Amino acid sequence: MKRVEQVKSASRSTLSTAQQERARALLDPLLAINDDPRLRGKLRYGYRFEGPAVVYFESLPGLRKGAPWVEHDIAKFRYTKRTALWSLYCQFSDLKWRSYEPLPVSDDLAELVEEMRRDPTCIFFG
């Protein structure tokens, strides 16, 4: 499976090209599960650019055969130009984004991606 199939790129991104490239470099390694033939038909990960944010999500196959895959957002990384800081958000059962309290902001996107990957509070991956 190619990266193009795993990543949805929104044309409305307000992130700079450099910021988008940095996000890709940090998030692409987290998509490796997509290459595991045992899981390929059951679970996929991806990300998309939305305005000043990058949303990391998982996809599960639809309930009926041939139904489209359903995305479930996991984390949002939002850049605030005014402060030059990245914010990390998690989504609760009400589908609203909330600031991730243990590490809400950082000037380094890598720090927030690593926090999501480690998931010490089990909020992102359960």
32 occurs within a structural domain: yes
The model carries a pTM of 0.86
Cα separation, 2 vs 12, in Å, equals: 23
Q: What is the pLDDT of residues 96-119, one digit of tens each?
A: 999 999 999 999 999 999 999 999
Q: What's the domain range around 63? A: 3-118
Cα separation, 90 vs 104, in Å, equals: 10
28 occurs within a structural domain: yes
126 occurs within a structural domain: no
| Number of separate domains in the chain | 1
Segment (H or E) for 45: strand 44-50
Does residue 27 contact residue 43 with C-beta atoms inside 8 Å?
no
123 occurs within a structural domain: no
Q: What is the pLDDT of residues 12-65, one digit of tens each?
A: 899 999 999 999 999 999 998 777 788 778 889 999 999 999 999 999 988 888
25 occurs within a structural domain: yes
> What distance lies between CA 23 and its chain's CA centroid?
10
125 occurs within a structural domain: no
Q: β-pairing, 105-106 with 70-80?
A: unpaired
11 occurs within a structural domain: yes
Task: With a cut of 70, say whether residue 9 has pLDDT above it.
Answer: no
